[in-house]
Amino acid sequence: MIDGKRILLIIAGGIAAYRSLDVIRRLRERGADVRCVLTKGGAQFVTPLSVAALSENKVYQDLFSLTDEAEMGHIRLSREADLVVVCPASADLLGKMANGLADDLASTALLATDKPVMVCPTMNVMMWQHPATQANMLTLEARGVLRVGPGAGNLACGEVGTGRLAEVMDIVAAVEGYFAEEASPKPLAGRHAIVTSGPTWEAIDPVRYIANRSSGKQGHAIAAALAKLGARTTLVSGTTNMPDPAGVDVVRIESARQMYDACHAALPADIAVCAAAVADWRVDLDTDKKIKKSADGPPPLPLVENPDILASLGQLAANARPRLIVGFAAETGNVVEYARAKLGRKGCNWIVANDVSPGTGTFGGDDNTVHLVSADAVEEWPRMRKDEVAGRLADRIAAALAGAAE
Ligand code: PMT
């Protein structure tokens, strides 16, 4: 699976650096070509000689080495790999990566590479939990950097907690998994998908707004799943704490009207999935001025209806309408019955109906229980994680488009 793949392994400083030698050995056993960059810190723990002997390749250490630059510059080094693996990844190197710093060969190669990067962090538990490290990791993952570990347990420093380098075979499995995924079919290549996600915020005045409990977990997972199948994916998202899914174009909005504009600006599309919890109403007031407290009591909040984004896509002329439009129905009872009614009313092909009654945890939780409702069938799906719902839905979308006449 990884036979002949070129892996650039960057070994940063850390007591676990010695385990990178085993990683090299296992990758070589599987036929991968492994080239190594050893940082100054890494060289405190493993010798260039052992790295060279196991990788059967020259070891690169110095950004300013004229010989290395003549033979293999840092740009070529970073570009000629199929995957860059940082193992172990120290807090320092993660910080440099997140902030675009390039003051040695490892960080420069990481900044220069156009190839996917996988990091295997290891450090003291407090360093791992530090908000700076967590923010750096979040930034990197949002940019599509893959992560293996760290695991929890006894740490070399004598403390106990999360910070252990992942097991060598887990790292090797992650590398194999990456290449397997990359080689998997991309049935939605050449398709464009628009996905809405998260809540909308409807201003009452400049400081207050009406919102709902949508976390964006379901919509973001769908965008990620469609992108994984090769679709160019535009995610129009309300305000959430979710990281941007890798390989997805994200358009951030606040209100329903902004979401409507962003969706229509993203057209044409082959697929539209409306998973956002769009406010049905907005406040019909001059929202530029803060409402003052008054002796007359609370102010009336007149409401007007928001545009229905899903219905507006369903009503487009045949040559402008996305071929497959999937809406969601969030109900607290008669889920399937209401979903069927919505299917016709909103002019979509399928409705994913979910029960959002209190206690189901659908809003904000990690799991969802849905029915997939189409004009002629209702499928009951078992309770599963939202990313599994997303994966299954994306597969169904790909199958439907593959079966549809062009
Ligand atoms: O974000 P999570 O915490 O993961 O939660 C996921 C979810 C519960 C928000 C999601 O699974 C879900 O059900 N989304 C739709 C919520 C909703 O607004 O349902 P609705 O029945 O009110 O709307 C029906 C459909 O019309 C939805 O596809 C909605 O996006 C769309 N709509 C509604 C109103 C409007 N003005 N424009 C729309 O496009």
What is the residue-level pLDDT of the chain in tens, covering all 406 positions?
A: 899 999 999 999 999 999 999 999 999 999 999 999 999 999 999 999 999 999 999 999 988 775 666 666 778 888 899 999 999 999 999 999 999 999 999 999 999 999 999 999 999 999 999 999 999 998 998 788 999 999 988 878 788 888 999 999 999 999 999 999 888 889 999 999 999 999 999 999 999 999 999 999 999 999 999 999 999 999 999 999 988 888 899 999 999 999 999 999 999 999 999 999 999 999 999 878 899 999 999 999 999 999 999 999 999 999 999 999 999 999 989 999 999 999 999 999 999 999 998 888 899 999 999 999 999 999 999 999 999 999 999 999 999 999 864 4
pTM of the model: 0.80
**Which atom of ligand 1 is found nearest the CA of 329?**
21
Which domains are delineated in the chain? 6-183 (3.40.50.1950), 192-405 (3.40.50.10300)
Place of tokens 């006449």: 405
Find the 219 Cα to ligand 1 centroid distance in Å: 9
Between CA 366 and CA 403 the distance in angstroms is: 31
Q: Kindly report whether the peptide bond that precedes residue 121 is cis, defined as omega within 30 degrees of 0.
A: no
Give me the active site residues, please: 157
**Which atom of ligand 1 is found nearest the CA of 368?**
11
CA proximity to 22, closest of 51, 58, 63: 51
**Which residue, judged by its Cα, is nearest atom 8 of ligand 1?**
363
Find the 220 Cα to ligand 1 centroid distance in Å: 13
CA proximity to 349, closest of 372, 368, 333, 325: 325
Find the 293 Cα to ligand 1 centroid distance in Å: 33
Ligand 1 pocket test target in 197, 201, 214, 235 with most atoms within 8 Å of CB:
214
Q: Kindly report whether the peptide bond that precedes residue 268 is cis, defined as omega within 30 degrees of 0.
A: yes
Place of tokens 């097991």: 167
**Which residue, judged by its Cα, is nearest atom 33 of ligand 1?**
278
Ligand 1 first shell, C-beta below 6 A: 196, 214-219, 256, 274-278, 280, 306, 308-310, 327-330, 342, 354, 356, 362-364, 386
**Which atom of ligand 1 is found nearest the CA of 221?**
4
Between CA 13 and CA 5 the distance in angstroms is: 25
CA atoms within 13 A on the CB side of 295: 0
DSSP 277: B
